[in-house]
Amino acid sequence: MNGHETYETLAAVYAVGALDGGDLAQLEAHLAEGCDRCTVALREAREVLAGLALADTPAVPRPTSRPACSRGSGPRAARARARPAPAG
């Protein structure tokens, strides 16, 4: 990764509030230098997060949909899909 790819990755982590320590200090210093590219990357990451927060579709399935979701996954479901259909 080049320098800006690293900063852009740090900007995305910063946008969710999960950046700390040396990475936090490094990114804040870089932004304070006036890097337009990284400032835009941070703004875009924040806009994406705001869009997710305002989305109509919840990020977590309703409790009533969980049984239907879990029926279609896992080892048992995979074995059932692999079996041929009964003749008849």
Question: What's the pLDDT tens digit per position in 65-80?
Answer: 666 555 555 565 556 5
Domain containing 25: what range? 1-56
Q: 């994406």: which residue's tokens?
A: 48
* Confidence bin at 24 (pLDDT 50/70/90): very high
Residue 78 belongs to some domain of the structure = no
Residue 75 belongs to some domain of the structure = no
pLDDT at site 64:
73
Lookup: tokens for 20: 């700390």
Degrees to nearest 5, angle at CA 74 with 80 and 84: 15
| Beta strand residue intervals within the chain, DSSP E | none
Residue 82 belongs to some domain of the structure = no
* Confidence bin at 29 (pLDDT 50/70/90): very high
Q: Indicate the average pLDDT of the chain.
A: 79
Residues ≥6 apart with Cβ < 8 Å to 63:
none
Query: What is this structure's pTM?
Result: 0.59
Distance CA(7)–CA(13), nearest Å, equals 10
pLDDT at site 4:
79
